Amino acid sequence: MLKFTDFFDGKIEEPVEVDPHSGEPLDERVLSVQDRMKLSRRMKRFQHRIQRKRKIQMRRKADAGRLQKRARKGARADMKKRVSGGKSYRKMTFGMKKMVDQKLENKARQSAIKRFTKRKVKDKRKLDIARRK
């Protein structure tokens, strides 16, 4: 009789959490080309579910955690634009994206992102209130 261990190689794949607003991964690790392709296929599969949840969530008032998440995401996007020389991150190749992500991993940039996040929370709160009116 076959057992579970016959199919299990010992490696457990960590699930990648996805932001329901944009479909981007929440963890900020540097992704390899294979990881990006795998994530792309997964997002394609769940795109309708993500869109539906996003629509529902956008009608609700954002709590502090969600505002913090949005602010951090915006701060990272600004830093990506700064690091890439103003190029659009979405139009970059996988290799270029990997290089930009590696540059963001450095401690100085992480602390800058943390500072920008604090500044952006207020802006994100204003946007949330304006959107719901």
**What's residue 73's pLDDT?**
93
Asked whether residue 73 is domain-assigned, the answer is yes
Asked whether residue 72 is domain-assigned, the answer is yes
Q: What is the pLDDT of residues 73-109, one digit of tens each?
A: 999 999 999 999 999 888 999 889 999 999 998 899 9
Asked whether residue 5 is domain-assigned, the answer is no
Structural domain tally of the chain? 1
d(CA 85, CA 133): 36
d(CA 116, CA 21): 20
Asked whether residue 49 is domain-assigned, the answer is yes
Structural domain of 35: 17-132
Low-confidence spans in the chain with pLDDT less than 70: 1-28
* Whole-prediction pTM: 0.64
- State the helix-helix crossing angle for 94-104 and 107-132, rounded to 10 degrees: 100
Asked whether residue 3 is domain-assigned, the answer is no
Asked whether residue 6 is domain-assigned, the answer is no
**What's residue 3's pLDDT?**
67
Residue 10 structure tokens = 């010992």
Asked whether residue 80 is domain-assigned, the answer is yes
